[in-house]
Chains A and B, each alone.
Chain A
Amino acid sequence: MGPIIACVLFAGAMSILLWHQNKKRQQIKEGVWAIVFLWGAIAVIVAKLLHLPMSPPTDWVAAITAPLYKPIVAWIKGG
């Protein structure tokens, strides 16, 4: 549980830092998006730490491109 709490605390601290840095430069929209992506990244890290079942993104790519790559690979391996 320790690493997860550390991740959340880190994300919280970084969010405050990002918000203040961007607010100082009058970049509110930039700051909001940065915090959104930061929490997205932290969610992936926490999911990895908790060993939640996550299919690799390469599997999605393989599933989408299967009708194209399978015939080509069959031709290459076919001799």
Chain B
Amino acid sequence: MTKGTGAANGTITSGQLSKLLFLFSIGSAALLLPTAVVSIAKQDSWISMLLVIPFHYAFIYIYLLLHKRFPKMTLAQYAEKIAGVWLGKAVTLTFVFFFALLGGLVLNNVTDFLSKSVLPQTPDWFIGGTFMISIAYAVFLGVETIARTGEILFAWTLFIIGLISFTLINQMHADNLLPMLYNGWSGPVKGIYPVLGFPLAECVFLTAILPMIKDEERTKLKRMIGWSVLLSGGVGVIISFLIVSVLGVEEAMRSPFSVYEMAKSINIEEILVRVEILVAMVWIGTVFTKLAITVYSLVVMLSQMLKLRTYRSLVFPMCLLIVPLSLIVYRNSIHAGTFALEVWSVYAVLQGVILPLSLLAVARLFDKKSAEDGRFPEKTPKTPVSAGETADKQG
């Protein structure tokens, strides 16, 4: 699809969706999450990451069940069908706030990382502003463009993660992983808590993307999403395992970007060194996908709530809003750590799991379903010229 093809935003395949889901799940979490999980589960953090996989699929299964009832509608549209117009709009408004806040938080992560690690003298607003220009362009072009970008980034992400995992083998210390389950299962079970919100419950973005799946691809959807969940879960386990075994628990807990720190220790006979910038590149790529999907979900839900014919008019204003939002979401890094570790999970689960689950329960109770096509029109309809006006022109 090119940018001139009307108000619709294209269709994607199940494979593209599963790659987007993988990149979204890895997203900002790959660099930031291990520190949070290690601080709770210590050396058993990789077990927490393993335990979280079924939860990930369970959350997504709720969205799939809703999608089965309303195959061509987003959450903003079926919320109105299920809960009534005004209550539905109120529900959508909470999602709009959720995605706007998520956009601000993700952009804050990018600016924080780049200003601390790579561009220390560049102001945060400039880093955020320039990053948002590329996001605005991607969202403006539509989900199809984001999905194709995701396909390129997917291969690179897997390659870099594979390369880094392989080159870190000589730095691993099995002693760092011991004693295993020293406090029983309570440590790994508690370690699940930050992961439930970041990134599991954030996957509610799927409710805005699922209607864009091509009709003939819908049969493969469950299988592809299953593979995506397994792959992102597997990568999470490998990263946690490597961080603890290479850096040790104390070091992993201290560093805000432990994966980046871990990549600094790669040294293959003084030939392959300083490859941490590869981690930064991949991370920026996955965060780009996450932010693009978040902003896309935000503008789609907002425009459907307002009954607009296209979401594109709102892309620029919402991107402009997210930049200052990213600068005010946290007071300082301590506030950021506390919020991400303690508060976000509960809020994200309420918004991304409990609310869709309630909608599903009501839809099942009152047997509400609809095959109506809620997608944006392919071309913006022209206003018909009235008979009187035609006569005037002829006259």
Contacts and interface: CB of A to CB of B under 8 A. Distances in A.
B313 A27 contact: yes
Given A61-B347, A65-B343, A48 B335 contact: no
B316 A14 contact: yes
A26 B343 contact: no
The 4 closest A-B pairs by CB, nearest first: A37-B317, A41-B321, A34-B313, A30-B313
B346 A48 contact: no
Interface in B272-315: 303, 306-310, 313-314
A18 to B, nearest CB: 7
A27 B323 CA distance: 26
A76 B313 CA distance: 45
Interface stretch (B63-71, B159-167, B326-334): B326-334
B40 interface: yes
B330 A56 contact: yes
Interface of B: 40, 97, 101, 104-105, 190, 193, 303, 306-310, 313-314, 316-318, 320-321, 323-325, 327-331, 335, 339, 342-347, 350, 380-383
Contact of A18 (B316, B321, B343): B316
Nearest to A35: B317
A58 B313 contact: no
Nearest to A73: B342
Contact of A56 (B190, B310, B328): B328
Contacts of A27: 308-310, 313, 380
A40 B317 contact: yes
Interface in A6-42: 14, 18, 21-22, 25-27, 29-31, 33-35, 37-38, 40-42
B37 to A, nearest CB: 12
Contacts of B314: 30, 33-34, 37
A64 B327 CA distance: 22
26 contacts: A18-B313, A26-B381, A27-B309, A27-B380, A29-B309, A30-B303, A30-B308, A30-B309, A30-B310, A34-B314, A37-B317, A37-B321, A41-B320, A41-B324, A57-B328, A58-B330, A58-B335, A61-B347, A62-B339, A62-B343, A68-B346, A69-B346, A69-B347, A72-B193, A73-B342, A76-B190
